[in-house]
Chains A and B, each alone.
Chain A
Amino acid sequence: MEAPLVSAIEDANISNSMDLKLSENRHTLDRLAEARRQCAAKILELYKTAGAGHIGSSLSCLEILVDLCFQRMGADDVLVLSKGHAAAALYTTLSLSGRLPEADLSSFYKDGTLLAAHPPCSRRIQAIPFGTGSLGHGLGLACGIALSQRFTEKQFNVFIVLSDGDCNEGSTWEAVLFASQQKLSPLTVVVDLNGIQGIGYTKDILNLEPIADKWRAFGFAVAVADNGNDFADLARAYQQVANSPGPRCIVARTIKGHGISYMADTVEWHYLPMEDEHYAQALSELRKAEGAAPVL
């Protein structure tokens, strides 16, 4: 398992040296970028072996999950992936961060697996509290987990990742009302806002904008990561809402199929599986991106 990485934001608070801060930030971002590269390669391998789709959805939230699993989440913290169709990204980040045996990944999509196209039920995998896949369930579940701390001795953070489609569901907005009313301070929502849903662009189906204003109006502390596929931008957004006494929402503007040119911001790569030439090109683009310095 990777050694826990110290948050770039926390580092900044304790450092008296701007040079040291920049150096540590660079180190952290380099480590995250490397973890992201390894996870992306594994995700592509899993989908190619399975001959399956939902690749674009997994790649759009990959930096969000890498950021959570490789630095932000403590040992007792809970992660709920409401957009269960990005399960490959979840399985991979959990596995490469030491929360799921890497050998299990080879069973992805196969008969008799726990690692189906959507996450499994019943805590058969400890790091996956709930089986999701039907949109609109995750936030209510996360609210219940966060609320439980009022009645137990436990204290931990609850992170929940939503999709555009999740924000179509009325049950999500029921949970938003509830989280705000109950001032669920352990709760952080990350909206993986890639702008694309099942068969079209969000703005053409049920326009969510101005989405940050909507979450604010419902009582959340909101920060926007204009580039939600950038670790530094995500870190800045988390920092902006870090001291909120109530629930927080990070609106992460991401790109579906991020990092693979022919998948990026396309509707069809919500579902399409890769042919051999697609896979070869994707791996090639991933290799070319390797070593590129992250933007601070």
Chain B
Amino acid sequence: MRKEFSSWIENFGKEDRRVIFLTGDLGFAALENVESALKERFINMGVCEQNMVSVAAGLADQGLTPLCYSIAPFAVFRPYEQIRLDVALHKLNVKIVGNGGGFGYGIMGASHHALEDIAVLSVLQDFACFIPFCNSDVAGACEALFTFSGPSYLRLGFGAWPAGIGAFPAFTAIRQLVNARQAKPKVTIVGMGPVLLNIFPWILEESRADVFVVSKMPISEPSSELLDSVRESHLLWVIEEHSARGGLGEHLSAHLARLGIAFRLRHSHAQGYPDGLYGSQLYHQTQSRLDTAALRSISRELMP
């Protein structure tokens, strides 16, 4: 998604001169086009994420639209107090952009993974997280990110929407990707981020599941289609490359419970490093039973 993001911001930043692109010394072979287009409005802040966010807050205070870019854990966890105090509590229009959400940086190891980013950001006052679920969803997510005037986060990952299965709906906070062909769905599947692509295209053959993707957190209002689906299926299967605590599963479950909707939750989520070993993104997905084979096995279990 990094390529799609840099292409979008290059064009947008050329037109909107309020955009100030700050990077924490990252973006090799990815952001050169942005630097050329934005010129003095592209600033390498050095490996100083705390200062990057505070400077962004100062810029936003003066009416500019700064964006802080880094690898997701560096963009979120190191400067978290600056995000909370300088940005969120002041309701400033600062965009945090984290590349490689979840296990996206694979063999780079735990320091480069972000399994708790949505949890810690979505609890902040008036904060919005935007999570595109495939590469071609990035442009829509960026438009939503810059339409939203406030503290916000863009979580980038990687994944292609499969060819030959038609288009997906335009970016909104919650979208329905698959309609069960039966009158009543057996399962309501709700995912966040590119890990959801691991159920495509085979989930289309199951014909008994409704599939939704959540692309903005925290959820302000679940869609009526999603609520109706859970009311009928009574079985919610949440898939996310994020920790269970504070992730999509807990957020959505709380919403449904508040509405008095009875359901059972099956939660596929990042489980950290169960054996203390490291590998590719697929290795870690497999460890957490988020890989295609594991998800297909769970699907058969839920829809025998």
Point out residues on A near B: beta carbons under 8 Å. Answer: 121-123, 129-131, 134, 136-137, 139-152, 154, 170-171, 174-175, 177-178, 181-182
Contact = CB atoms under 8 A, between A and B. Distances in A.
Interface residues of B, number: 31
B20 interface: yes
A177 B54 contact: no
A151 B64 contact: yes
Contact of A144 (B40, B48, B54, B89): B54
Interface stretch (B55-63, B141-149, B244-252, B287-295): B55-63
Interface string B164-202: 000000000000000000000000000000000000000
Q: Is the interface of A mostly helix, strand, loop or mixed?
A: helix
A182 B63 CA distance: 20
A178 B55 contact: yes
B81 A134 contact: yes
B63 A152 contact: yes
A123 B46 CA distance: 29
Contacts, number: 106
Contacts of B46: 174, 177-178, 181
Interface string B60-74: 111110100000000
A140 B58 contact: yes
A178 B25 CA distance: 13
Given A143-B51, A175-B51, 19 more contacts: A121-B85, A121-B89, A122-B91, A129-B58, A131-B85, A140-B51, A140-B53, A140-B58, A144-B54, A144-B61, A144-B62, A148-B62, A149-B62, A151-B18, A151-B41, A151-B64, A174-B48, A177-B51, A181-B46
24 contacts: A121-B89, A122-B90, A131-B89, A136-B50, A137-B82, A137-B85, A140-B51, A140-B86, A141-B61, A142-B58, A144-B54, A144-B56, A144-B62, A144-B66, A145-B62, A146-B58, A150-B40, A151-B20, A151-B41, A174-B48, A175-B48, A178-B45, A178-B55, A181-B46
B17 interface: yes
Which of A136, A144, A150, A174 is the most central at the interface, judged by chain B CB atoms within 10 Å of its CB?
A144
Highest count of chain A CB atoms <10 Å: which of B45, B50, B53, B58: B58
B129 to A, nearest CB: 21
A141 B81 CA distance: 13
A171 B51 contact: yes
A121 B90 contact: yes
A123 B66 CA distance: 18
